[in-house]
Amino acid sequence: MLQEKENKIAIALIIMGWVNIASGISAGFIFGYQYEEFIWSIFLSWSIAGISSGLVLLALGEIVESLNNIRDCLKENTSTPEVDSKEIIKNPEGVIRDKDEMQPQERDVDKEEWIITENQKEAILKLYKESNDINIIPSPYRNFCIVEINGGKIEIIELKQNVPFVLSDFHWADIQKEIRQWYKEYKH
């Protein structure tokens, strides 16, 4: 059991738990045997106290070991990106996403005709609730649209599960370039 453990804190907690259980039972025998007579209530009170506190320490040791294993798995699967404050995007729900999360993850972007749903429109309008004149145009790329703000400024939005994200210049740079070119042709 202890040979499988890698975390020293977990090992220490498990050892202390077993020592606590053994000490509680031993103290129960020692203090329970008084005046040539064995008193069960004293034995049980010391034993129960030792066993319960020992089990708590054993459980904490297992929790620490499980957390250590989870951390090791996460380290193997992902690397922790260093995020520059300029690379942070905030969506309408207040969730912060960094540029690495927004990059394509082994998927192609579909170039096809598509229609923005009412839920998607509502989410985009929430994002731009302070602007009065908004025009939402679906781009040729699925889940990407152009938002014209007050007739002049445009922003490219990516929709992920009906949540809009305003793209910075470095997100989907090639697609943004094509979408901007398409928009120029679309306007003329």
Number of domain units in the chain: 2
Q: Give the rounded distance of the alpha carbon of 132 from its chain centre.
A: 35
Q: Alpha helix locations (H) across the chain? A: 8-32, 40-77, 99-102, 118-127, 173-187
| Residue where a domain terminates, one of 52, 77, 102 | 77
Q: What is the pTM of this model?
A: 0.41
Could you read off the pLDDT tens digit of each residue along the chain, which spans 188 residues? Answer: 566 677 889 899 999 999 999 999 999 999 998 878 899 999 999 999 999 999 999 999 999 989 988 888 877 765 444 444 444 444 444 444 444 444 444 345 667 778 888 888 888 888 888 877 888 888 888 888 888 887 778 888 988 877 888 887 777 788 888 888 888 888 77
> What is the SS3 assignment for 7?
coil
Residues 60 and 103 in one domain: no
Residue 5: what are its φ and ψ, rounded to 5°? Answer: -80, 140
Check whether residue 113 and residue 182 sit in a common domain: yes
Last residue of a domain, one of 45, 77, 109: 77
Domain range for 126: 85-187
